């Protein structure tokens, strides 16, 4: 799968779920991982510890453009240019469209979409200095097919796929490759939001989702992390502006 030995890698939203699994996997594959989370708490500390301490914590709310710029500057002052960015941080609110307050809509946009514009703009100068880089954007299959009661989330995740396509075309000539993953239903704390919206116990929510998946089960965060790690390496150089779909066969499309 190529090598990540010593490669400076930033993972946003890495205190839990897919982000945490990605940080652990990338560190196991040799990367020097910078673990971002919105707040500096025990979850961030646990994520750093899970890497075998081959990581640096970088608490920052990426919806704050200036704060994300300062975070990246601090990291690069200490470690050097960031060569791999995993844009994973996300916020989701589930409500019927007309019940979602405008501020809830914008919170999702400000983290999921605009927040990552800020982080990408901060890491790009360093990648250009290196003459190479990898940006792996974590979307969602809800950004591909849409989902009831998750309009804001789905729109932002669809926007990330469009961002991947456009940046992929723009940056590939510079040796900076942009790709995305759009996971299906994954066993992460995010599913607790789904269960509350459906008024069901979490275990029942898992079972309902599993029925629609040909593999017969929901996915695991470590499976998505494996895909992310692959896209972060030279072995994935053929993937430019493309989105991979680890979803157990639930949807099969080229978006």
Residue 153 bears catalytic tag: yes
Catalytically annotated residue among 141, 153, 177, 239: 153
Please give the structure tokens belonging to residue 51: 């890497």
- Return the active site residues: 153
């Amino acid at each position: 799968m190529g090598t990540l030995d010593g490669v400076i890698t930033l993972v946003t939203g890495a205190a839990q779920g897919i982000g945490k699994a990605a940080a652990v996997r990338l560190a196991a594959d040799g990367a020097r991982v910078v673990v971002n989370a919105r707040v500096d708490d025990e979850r961030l500390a646990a994520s750093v510890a899970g890497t075998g301490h081959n990581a640096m914590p970088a608490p920052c709310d990426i919806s704050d453009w200036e704060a994300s710029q300062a975070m990246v500057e601090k990291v690069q002052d200490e470690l050097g240019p960031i060569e791999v960015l995993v844009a994973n941080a996300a916020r989701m609110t589930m409500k019927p469209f007309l019940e979602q307050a405008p501020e809830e809509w914008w919170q999702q946009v400000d983290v999921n979409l605009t927040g990552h514009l800020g982080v990408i703009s901060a890491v790009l100068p360093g990648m250009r200095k290196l003459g190479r880089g990898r940006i792996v954007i974590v979307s969602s299959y809800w950004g591909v097919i849409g989902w009831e009661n998750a309009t804001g989330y789905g729109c932002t995740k669809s926007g990330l796929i469009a961002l991947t396509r456009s940046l992929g075309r723009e940056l590939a000539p510079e040796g900076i490759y942009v790709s995305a993953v759009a996971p299906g239903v994954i066993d992460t704390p995010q599913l607790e939001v789904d269960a509350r919206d459906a008024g069901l116990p979490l275990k029942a929510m898992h079972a309902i989702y599993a029925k629609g998946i040909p593999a017969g089960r929901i996915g695991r965060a470590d499976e998505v992390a494996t895909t992310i790690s692959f896209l972060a390496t030279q072995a994935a150089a053929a993937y430019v502006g493309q989105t991979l779909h680890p979803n157990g066969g639930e949807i099969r499309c080229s978006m």
